[in-house]
Amino acid sequence: MCLGLSAASRQTGAPGARGARAGVEIGAPGAPLGTIVFPTSGTPAAQRDFLRGVAWLHSFGYEDAIEAFRAAQRREPQFAMAYWGEAMCFNQPLWFHEDVSQGRAALGRLGPTPQARAAKAPTRRERMYLSAVESLYGEGDKRLRYQAYSNAMASIVSEFPADEEAQAFHALSLLALLPRGDAALPLREKAGAIAEGVFRRNAKHPGAAHYILHAYDHRTLAPRALTAARMYATIAPAASHALHMPAHTFLQLGYWDEAAATDQASWDASVAWAARKGLSTASRDFHSLTWLHYEAIQQGRFAKASEALRLVEDAMKVVTPAGQPGGHHYADSEIGRVSGPLALRNDRGSMRARSVIESERWGDMKGQSSFDNIDELFALGMSAAKLGDLARAESAIKLCREAAAPAQEAGLREQAAIMATELEALVAFAKGRHAEAFEAMDRATGLQARMPQPIGRPYPVKGADELYGELLLEAGRAREAIVWFERALARTPNRSRAVLGLARARAKAGDTAGSVRAYKQFLANWKQADPGLPEIRQARAVIGRK
């Protein structure tokens, strides 16, 4: 491990604390984790482990963070902040996962009560950090605990305005309180501004860059995250999540090459991490792999997408049926890192669905009778409608309607309702009842408009605006189709199928210049595409290239 101080280091830490105000560079040679300033009262040896833990914590490398904090505890059993750090690892608000009992247990090893634990923190600042995490794992409703924790972090910032770590963790605490959809924009901007302040002073701070990306993970804010996105992967390349997070910004903006490159690096880092730890393939970061699958499709790299799908299927062979999914997408480990069978099956279903829908290889699902999730169910129904098997498509509609029942989680319920309505439109269109089909698409697009803007891969798995444009184009109503493809691209920038649809619609509408512009954009997206794809031949023919 390489822990070096810059030449400008000065011992000007918080009162009663040891540590340099200049940033401490953390990480192994060739695998940095970032630079942070977090003076504490720990001994130098314990402080080194502590800082390593904090750096991993900022990049959501929770397993490595726990190891580091426990190493600090072994070096100095009364080091209060080492127990604070370990407890923080069991709260993963942006992954919608927490383990209150584990967090309380970590604190309990420092002392039996909050008062006993506070007595072991020699400075007021450290006692305030402990008090903050105590509120995070206190009694009561999750939302109230999260709010109390955020308030406590704001108090630390107020009393110690130079404490960059307090500012970074305060920004993260605000992100844990985000309401759904555009109602979150004011809080996103507040959290982003706090993180940006830290980032301006320390461009290698892993938490500042990371939390900027989460704060601005919204269609209207994403351009403000580009600098941090392009920095974060270089700040902490040892952390697979740090390599993945820039894809949030790149995907929001439709920068497919950059998104695919950073998710490929993230996946590769997770493979190396699991091998280094001697863990099974199910411990790899399948979250970044599912994103890579989507990004490869946007590049026209369907063979690459198939390879990603095979990796998920291989992992499913080593996961026991007894495993259960936990948190965001992991299960079966101390912090919920190992992908459970249901999580992997859900990944497989969505990946299969996207592969078929985006390639339009409807025959790939002919005769398939099972599905892993509602995305794959929709793909089966869409394939059936396209192949003329309308009874099968109507069966898929019935099942989608059941998934749209009020008892379901809100996001799934909304997606299921949209997809059922899309399938109704496809069936009506296949029967030649175009007016009925377009009435259904009006309902589907209305439902989709009420959903929050997509973060990451768009849902539903086939956007209603894009499908509306495709059906209008097929019905010979090219000018109307243009409107819907443009709406699709406003919601999901630079999606290759929507760009292609826009190019085709403009050509049919007689807008040659507009069609050529769109086809050129499509070819730019697909410059690494698999050879021999008919879409490329069509685009080149229109713009006059051989």
Please write the tens of the pLDDT for every residue from 212-258: 999 999 999 999 999 999 999 999 999 999 999 999 999 999 999 99
Mean pLDDT of 416-435: 98
Tens-digit pLDDT profile for residues 57-111: 999 999 999 999 999 999 999 999 999 999 999 999 999 899 999 999 999 999 9
Q: 97 has which bridge partners?
A: 92
Residue with structure tokens 């109704």?
A: 424
pLDDT of residue 321: 57
- pLDDT beyond 80 at 189: yes
Indicate the range of 50-59, 221-230, 276-285 predicted with least confidence. Answer: 276-285
Sign of the C-alpha dihedral computed for residues 477, 492, 289 and 312 taken in this order: negative
CB-CB contact of 123 with 17 (8 Å): yes
CB-CB contact of 247 with 256 (8 Å): no
- pLDDT beyond 90 at 407: no
Tokens of 54: 């904090």
Q: φ and ψ at 532, to 5 degrees?
A: 80, 10
Tokens of 223: 């351009």
Integer Cα distance of 106 and 117 in angstroms? 11
Integer Cα distance of 543 and 546 in angstroms? 9
Q: 34 has which bridge partners?
A: 26
The amino acid at residue 168 is A
**Mean per-residue pLDDT of the chain:** 91
Tokens of 96: 């919608």
Instruction: State percent of the chain over pLDDT 70.
Output: 92
- The 3-state DSSP composition of the chain as helix, strand, coil percent (nearest 5) reads 65, 5, 30
Integer Cα distance of 189 and 192 in angstroms? 5
Pick the CATH number of 4-252 from 3.40.50.2300, 1.25.40.10, 3.30.565.10, 3.40.50.720: 1.25.40.10
Whole-number Cα distances in Å, 329 to 87, 338, 513: 21, 8, 45
Q: Are strands 31-36 and 24-28 parallel, antiparallel or unpaired?
A: antiparallel
CB-CB contact of 88 with 137 (8 Å): no
Strands (E) located in 16-173: 24-28, 31-36, 91-92, 97-98
pLDDT of residue 264: 98
Integer Cα distance of 312 and 23 in angstroms? 40
Integer Cα distance of 540 and 149 in angstroms? 57
CB-CB contact of 283 with 337 (8 Å): yes
Strands (E) located in 17-92: 24-28, 31-36, 91-92
CB-CB contact of 437 with 426 (8 Å): yes
pLDDT band at 169 (very low <50, low <70, confident <90, very high): very high
- pLDDT beyond 80 at 177: yes
pLDDT of residue 320: 61
What is residue 335's DSSP assignment?
T
Length of the chain measured in residues: 546
pLDDT of residue 289: 97
**Three-state secondary structure call for residue 381:** helix
- Give 176's contacts (C-beta < 8 A, 6+ positions apart): 93, 94, 146, 149, 150
Tens-digit pLDDT profile for residues 327-336: 333 333 454 4
pLDDT of residue 331: 38
Domain boundaries, the chain: 4-252, 488-546
pLDDT of residue 319: 78
pLDDT of residue 339: 59
- pLDDT beyond 80 at 17: no
Tens-digit pLDDT profile for residues 352-371: 999 999 999 999 999 998 99
Tens-digit pLDDT profile for residues 367-378: 998 999 999 999
pLDDT of residue 19: 38
Could you count the other beta carbons within 10 Å of the beta carbon of residue 513?
A: 8
Helix (H) or strand (E) holding 494: none
Q: Are strands 91-92 and 31-36 parallel, antiparallel or unpaired?
A: unpaired
Tens-digit pLDDT profile for residues 144-157: 999 999 999 999 99
Tokens of 108: 């309990």
